[in-house]
Structures are given as structure tokens and as C-alpha cells.
Amino acid sequence: MKKIRDLVVDEDFQGFVLIKTADVRIAKNGKTFIAFTFQDNSGSIDGKFWDASNDEIQRFEVGRVVHLTGKREVYQGNPQVKIYKLRLTNPEEPNDPSLFMERAPVKKEAMEEDINQTIFEIINPHWNRIVRFLLNKYKKEFFEYPAAKKNHHAFAGGLAYHTTTMLHLGKSLVNEYPQLDASLLYAGVILHDLGKVIELSGAMATEYTVVGNLVGHLVLVDEEITKACLALKIDESTEDIVVLRHMVLAHHGQLDYGSPVRPRIMEAEILHQIDNIDASMQMLNNAISKTEPGEYTERIFGMDNRSFYVPKNVE
């Protein structure tokens, strides 16, 4: 069966997809419809289901795998599916939602290996123990969660993928600028977004939790470091613990972006800058992959709403 990303305009198709979002709305003519986003591991597409009955509203809920028959169209410049038929799957048909989620392009095992190798390079024993303690505590979530609800790395495994890519950048910088404290930078990279496993609800139908909204992932991971110190009997007031907490609290770079303190040590500034680069590259890739050469991307919210131009082949 064809993947969503491969469908061309006006192509009829059928196959299994995951319901990613399902908003019930009332049309101008007073009829009820469901605005769906369907997903497989190649991408996602919107589609409207007209004249939905109460029964259908309850049947087609978020997280269900369904069988969809339809036609790929375009609506206001965006792909959409005209739904011919929609039904739940039969018992013998595919129905594991996790098979239909978008995923990081690197295998979990490779990322785990990457992380583990890096931990060997964290020489300071406090940082080393705290990183291992917290990765152990949240291991399952760390490799499963996205790095965001939308914007960059908003797919299963996105958090670990973002983290390992940043480690690669971090190692290049340590190479170029030997005065950087590599242990501190790597510990900071691994922990910086770990609070997202508490801030977000999970990989499917991702939402912000209440504590995510009211406390935020920067302070959540800072609290985790503090509690890890208690558990590991490390004095949290020693300078190495203070600077590690600073790393995670300052990584958004600006007060305006939710850091309670701006970076005030060199490695915190660099952590912020490589976070920026990887987020930008991920958002740009995503937008450019949906754009033809010679055209402009849609506006990218996380990059000050700029639209980028994709040059024609210029080599």
C-alpha cells in the first residue's frame, strides 16, 4: 500500500492509517463533521468527515487505527484527503498505533549507543552519576517522547534524536575550542530537555501536562537534579552541581524564552546555541521537504514566522 507522503494529487487510494487528531465541529449549514488528521510513518494528511453521527464520533477517536478509502486532493494549498469510506479495523488487520507514528530517522539502539559512549567522556563523577541516574529513571520515556508538541522534532523518539544530534555538534565544538569543558557540555546536552518527559503527555496525541504548563521543563529537570543529589548523597551546593543546574535553567538563552537566568558560563551559552542550530535545521528540513525548488516554504512559526526560499538546483 502506498504511504501518505507518496500519494499524488487526484489519486484514489485505500489503506490503514492512525487517527492523530479528531475535532468535532459544526458547519455553517448546521451539520456536524469531524476534522481528522490521519497519519502513517511517512507523514500525515487532513480530511473532513461530513455528517458525522454521534456513534461515528465515538467510534473514530484519537489513537485508533482505521481503514481509509479516499482521494488525495489539495485544499487552500495544503494536501487533504476526500474521504469516501472510513471503518475500524477488523481483528486480523493491523491495529498497533505505534507502527503508524512518525519516528526519528535513527534507530533507538544507535542513539542509546551514542549516549552511552558519551557518558564515558563525562569525567566529573558527580555529573556522570547524576546523568546516569536520571537517564535510568526516565529511560523508556527518553527514547520514546517527542521533543515538542509541534514545531521541531515532534515525532516519536524526537527527544533522544535531538539530544544525540546535539552531542555530535557539541563534540565538533569541543574539538575546535579546547577551552570548553567537555564533561559539562555533554552532561548539559543530555539533561537539557529531559524535563519534557514530565512536561508532555507522551508520543501520541501529545499535550502539555498541567505541571508542564505551570512549572515548565527547565525547572522540572532542575528539580530532578536536586532530588538526584539527595538520592545519591551529593551535596547540591558544591559548585559543580550549581553550574550543572545553571546549564539546564539557562538553555533557552533569553528570559523572554522562559529561562529564569541568562547563560552566565561559557558552556551554558554554547549549549543554548547548538540547541538553536539543531532546532532550526529540523524545522527547515521539515518545511523544505514539502516544498518544490524555486518555491517558498510555508511560514515557520518557530523561526519568527519566516518563509524560506528553496533555490533551484544551482550546482
- Residues 38-77 touching its own copies, rule: CB under 8 A, are 50, 73-76
Helix, strand, or coil here: 157? coil
Q: How far is residue 83's CA from residue 69's CA, in Å, rounded to a whole number?
A: 6
Q: Which stretch binds its own copies (CB under 8 A): 27-35, 111-119, 142-150, 199-207?
A: 27-35
Cα distances (angstroms) measured from residue 139 to each of 145, 170, 300: 10, 22, 31
Q: Is 84 in the site for its own copies (CB under 8 A)?
A: no
Among the listed residues 11, 14, 25, 117, the single contact to its own copies using CB under 8 A: 25
What DSSP assignment string belongs to 258-299?
T-SS---SHHHHHHHHHHHHHHHHHHHHHHHTTS-TTSBPPP
| Contact indicator for 147, 162 with CB cutoff of 8 Å | yes
Q: Is 276 in the site for its own copies (CB under 8 A)?
A: yes
How many chain residues touch its own copies (CB under 8 A)?
83
Q: Given the complex with its own copies, which of 53 and 76 has the nearer CB atom?
A: 76
3-state helix, strand, coil in the chain (%, to 5): 45, 20, 35
* DSSP strand pairing (65-75 vs 12-26): antiparallel
To its own copies, the closest distance from the beta carbon of 215 in angstroms equals 6
Residues 196-235 that bind its own copies (CB under 8 A): 210-211, 213-216, 218-219, 222-223, 226-227, 230
To its own copies, the closest distance from the beta carbon of 315 in angstroms equals 5
Q: Given the complex with its own copies, which of 159 and 300 has the nearer CB atom?
A: 300
Q: How far is residue 189's CA from residue 167's CA, in Å, rounded to a whole number?
A: 7
Among the listed residues 55, 96, 239, 292, the single contact to its own copies using CB under 8 A: 239
To its own copies, the closest distance from the beta carbon of 74 in angstroms equals 8
Q: Is 312 in the site for its own copies (CB under 8 A)?
A: yes
Q: Given the complex with its own copies, which of 16 and 33 has the nearer CB atom?
A: 33
Residues 136-175 that bind its own copies (CB under 8 A): 165, 168-169, 172-173, 175
Instruction: From 106, 44, 113, select the one nearest 282 (Cα to Cα).
Output: 106
